C-alpha cells in the first residue's frame, strides 16, 4: 500500500516515499498531510545541508510545531533564544511563539516535524517558489 486514499486509511510509505520539496540546501519530504489526516496534522522530514539557514523566523497563530531531531545537530530559535539540539532531541514550539531552525554544524542535519493542526503542506509549492527566488544561505 503506498499512500492513503481516504482519511481513515492506513498509510505505508517505502523508504524515501512521500512528497518531496527541494528548496536549495534545504529539502522537505511530507509523509502524511491534509488529504490523509483531514488537516488534523501533517508529518514531514526536513533536511538541511551544513551551514544552512532554515525558513527564517516566523510564527503560527493557531498551530503547534513539534520537532524530533533525527540526524546531525539542529539550531532552534524559540522566542528570542537560540539553542542546539542533537539526535533524539524533542522540541515543541506552541502556537504564537516565534521560531526558526538552522544547521550551523559540519554535517547534514534533519528533523521529523509534526504540524498540529495540519494544512501547512498546501503552501509548499509557493514556499518552494519563494526559496528558488531567495535561496537559503
Q: Is 89 exposed, middle or buried (0-12, 13-18, 19+ CB in 10 A)?
A: middle
**pLDDT, tens digit, 9 for 90 and up, residues 83-135:** 999 999 999 999 999 999 999 999 999 999 999 998 888 888 888 898 888 87
Predicted confidence band of residue 2 (pLDDT cuts 50, 70, 90): very low
Residue 9 is placed in which grid cell? Answer: 486509511
- Cα angle 35, 37, 60; round to 5: 95
pTM: 0.90
β-sheet with 99-103: strand ranges across: 52-53, 99-103, 74-78, 81-85
* β-pair partners for 92: 66
For residue 1, what pLDDT is reported? Answer: 35
Is residue 49 within 8 A of residue 104, CB to CB? The reply is no
Sketch out the chain's domains with CATH numbers: 19-116+125-133 (2.60.120.10)
**pLDDT, tens digit, 9 for 90 and up, residues 12-70:** 999 999 999 999 999 999 999 888 888 899 999 999 999 999 999 999 999 999 999 99
For residue 35, what pLDDT is reported? Answer: 81
Amino acid at each position: 500500500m503506498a499512500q492513503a486514499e481516504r482519511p481513515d486509511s492506513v498509510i505505508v510509505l517505502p523508504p524515501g516515499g512521500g512528497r518531496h520539496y527541494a528548496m536549495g540546501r534545504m529539502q522537505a519530504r511530507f509523509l502524511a498531510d491534509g488529504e490523509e489526516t483531514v488537516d488534523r496534522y501533517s508529518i514531514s522530514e526536513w533536511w538541511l545541508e551544513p551551514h544552512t539557514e532554515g525558513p527564517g523566523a516566523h510564527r503560527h497563530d493557531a498551530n503547534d510545531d513539534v520537532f524530533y531531531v533525527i540526524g546531525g545537530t539542529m539550531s532552534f530559535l524559540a522566542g528570542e533564544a537560540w539553542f542546539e539540539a542533537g539526535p533524539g532531541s524533542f522540541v515543541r514550539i506552541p502556537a504564537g511563539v516565534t521560531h526558526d531552525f538552522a544547521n550551523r554544524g559540519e554535517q547534514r542535519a534533519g528533523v521529523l516535524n509534526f504540524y498540529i493542526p495540519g494544512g501547512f503542506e498546501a503552501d509548499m509549492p509557493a514556499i518552494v517558489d519563494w526559496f528558488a527566488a531567495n535561496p537559503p544561505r
